[in-house]
Structure 1
Amino acid sequence: MGREVAAEAQLAEACGVDAKTVGRWIASPTRIPHARHRWAACEALGEEESTLWPTAVRSALKTGPDREVIQVFPYRSAAPASLWRSLITKAQRELTFAGYTNYFLWLEQANLAGALRRKAQTGCRVRFLIGDPDSSVTRAREAEEGVPLTLSTRIAVTMSELQRLRDVGDIEGRFETGHVNLSVFRFDDEMIVTPILARRVGHDSPMMHLRRAQDDGMFDRFADHVEELWSRGRNIWEVTEHGQA
């Protein structure tokens, strides 16, 4: 009993509520906490929202054209890190990281390199679409953001991490600049999309979690966008070896 009380107190602190509130969540499974409290609880417990509050997920199911939208977050930083880890872990065929720097992934996902190596070794295609650090597009966006940790510095972190995975044949990387204002991350038939707002960095921008449910829907359109940019991109290793980036 004492351990249960202590656990409830810890969860309450993580969610920013009192222990009695957590007790009511447990005593009444049909009681659905506010969305921000559900996200905080999922992050603290390392569980999916569908596991802890399936009713909340079912009530959000849609049947119209927007049924591919699973969740939305006002800020990327509001999404639990466990969501990203779950999507990476479940993917079997394709992992595409088309963020301009992809910098945050290496900070927020423990041993991401090891996870990607294992995925590639079991036949999963892993791709990184990265902004060209020396392009005029990158420089213009750096000036707009006006933050000390520049885009080119963040790109350099990703390049350094990918260098350690260069021996894995199914991990690819290309430079492109057409996604400077739109990050798309694909995990088989699920996707995270983040439109980058003016003067905002990625973690401060809104985020959508999509799941493919139809032909030519939102998922397919974002996927086609990434494929077009990928087809125009330059192999990061060929560019760096020739001293062009």
Structure 2
Amino acid sequence: MASAGLSPRQLALRVGVSGKTVERWVADEELIPHARNREDASAALGVEAAMLWPKAVRDRLKTGSDQEIVRSYPYRSACPSTVWGELISGATDDLFFGGYTSYFLWSHVPALPDVLRRKAAKGCRVRFLIGDPEGTVTTQREGIEDVAMAVSTRVRTTMEQLARMGPTEGLEARFSAPADATNHISLSVFRFDDEALVTPHLATRVGHDSPLLHLRRRGEQGMFQRFAEHAEELWSRSVSMERPTHSG
């Protein structure tokens, strides 16, 4: 204010606030005016608003592990299908689909089978970890959700789509182990190299009604890494989708 030749009262008139308000701005470093007032004050004083109130800038920027959160969605269905398509298309090394059913992918991503074939042919590892449609946890969850399209039906949709692709080198599909089914159905992890979409499933909600986080790896001990390790642990104990046959 001294450099601009303005008194608190004169600055207040320029901004449209009281003189006492400006005096409080000067006296209390923790007090941050509304964005419009910050802009008007900085224009009157001829300096950047960030110089006057740097805390407002720091509060707006993500720091630490928060930087890994690209965006959050209150519902999985609120995440645009274009995001799924772009993440799948952009991956070159590792595609991990760790939803208990993952059935929605086939409608979300146009020509998904062709995309996965091309990815696998170029050396990208493609994995599907799904729940056992005949498992106890699947049956229990169907009773909880009580919706027209049952969990087992959604799982079988994915199984049918994968079967139609035929043998594809680089593509693997397994059931989560029975002991891990509860952990699997409560948390879906979809990984695309160094990005992931993670859905923690709410108690009685179907997947598309549960929240979703879009994460991007920023370090070795962040949220992305923890979810990725969770997915790998489930995969390490997963079981073949081939069921034994009995004769006689």
Q: Same fold (TM over 0.5)?
A: yes
The whole-number CA distance in structure 2 between the counterparts of 1:210 and 1:243 is 42
Which amino acid counterpart does residue 197 of structure 1 have in structure 2? L
Q: What is the Cα deviation at residue 107 of structure 1? A: 1.5
Which residue matches 2:164? 164
The whole-number CA distance in structure 1 between the counterparts of 2:212 and 2:201 is 9
Maintained 8 Å contact 1:165/1:171: no
Deviations 1:218-243 (A, max 9, x none): 1111111111100111122x33xx25
Maintained 8 Å contact 1:100/1:129: yes
**Helix, strand or coil: the match of 2:184?**
coil
Count of residue correspondences: 183
Which residue matches 1:201? 206
The whole-number CA distance in structure 1 between the counterparts of 2:225 and 2:65 is 13
Which residue matches 1:46? none
TM-score if structure 2 supplies the norm length? 0.71
The whole-number CA distance in structure 1 between the counterparts of 2:211 and 2:245 is 36
The whole-number CA distance in structure 1 between the counterparts of 2:245 and 2:192 is 32
Deviations 1:34-64 (A, max 9, x none): xxxxxxxxxxxxxxxxxxxxxxxxx975222
Q: What RMSD, in angstroms, separates the aligned Cα atoms of the two structures?
A: 1.5
Matching of residues 129-208 of structure 1 within 5 Å: 129-176=129-176, 177=181, 178-208=183-213
Rg bigger for which structure? 2
The whole-number CA distance in structure 2 between the counterparts of 1:210 and 1:114 is 26
Which residue matches 2:80? 80
Identity of counterpart residues, as a percentage?
A: 54
The whole-number CA distance in structure 2 between the counterparts of 1:166 and 1:181 is 29
Q: What is the Cα deviation at residue 94 of structure 1? A: 0.5
Deviations 1:67-120 (A, max 9, x none): 111100001111111100000000000000000000000122111111111100
The whole-number CA distance in structure 1 between the counterparts of 2:131 and 2:60 is 35
The whole-number CA distance in structure 1 between the counterparts of 2:220 and 2:163 is 36
TM-score if structure 1 supplies the norm length? 0.72
Which amino acid counterpart does residue 199 of structure 2 have in structure 1? T
Which amino acid counterpart does residue 234 of structure 1 have in structure 2? V
Maintained 8 Å contact 2:84/2:108: no
Matching of residues 1-245 of structure 1 within 5 Å: 62-176=62-176, 177=181, 178-236=183-241, 238-239=242-243, 242-243=244-245
